[in-house]
Structure 1
């Protein structure tokens, strides 16, 4: 089975050293529905991508968000990228 765009975006976001996990966010809306369990933490729309992350405490959050954007941008085409930092981890 081919890897979906959402799966590739999730993999790229998790490659950021400051991202500890993906999250659907406080309202559980950042996810991709698919056969089997939903993919938590990535929503792919026609004109935008949303990625929900939990990040390590320590660095400025805007810098971490930009790092995630930089990692996923090659996959997203012209779509606007929104990064939701939903929580901080101390690990």
Structure 2
């Protein structure tokens, strides 16, 4: 596979992963991390918050307050693992924000 084809394939995977993770109820946003290292290059830019690598995927998230962080990380791992079988999935929680509207403690 050529380098451009690899970038396109990784970019498509990163976009799919990003959409699925953002759909999780306890994830407020994706995060590139404090040093902006959690990202995947794509044509015309980067998918911030998802780093697709050879043998692993790293996902940076901003979690919603309420659910225990290990449980949220497990949800992310389960979601991403189904999209990239055989790859390790590492989750980095970079921040926590207030609860979702209607949730206990929410607005």
Superposition pairs of residues 38-77 of structure 1, within 5 angstroms? 38-77=46-85
5+ residue gaps in structure 1? none
The aligned length equals: 91
Cα deviations across residues 26-63 of structure 1 (Å, max 9, x unaligned)?
A: 11100011122211000011100000000101111000
1:35 is aligned, of 33, 43, 60, to 43
2:29 is aligned, of 21, 36, 57, to 21
CA–CA separation in structure 1 for the residues paired with 2:30 and 2:51 = 11
CA RMSD across the alignment: 1.7
| TM-score of the pair, normalised by structure 1 | 0.92
Q: Which runs of 4+ in 1 moved over 2 A?
A: none
Highest Rg: 1 or 2?
2
CA–CA separation in structure 1 for the residues paired with 2:81 and 2:43 = 26
| TM-score of the pair, normalised by structure 2 | 0.79
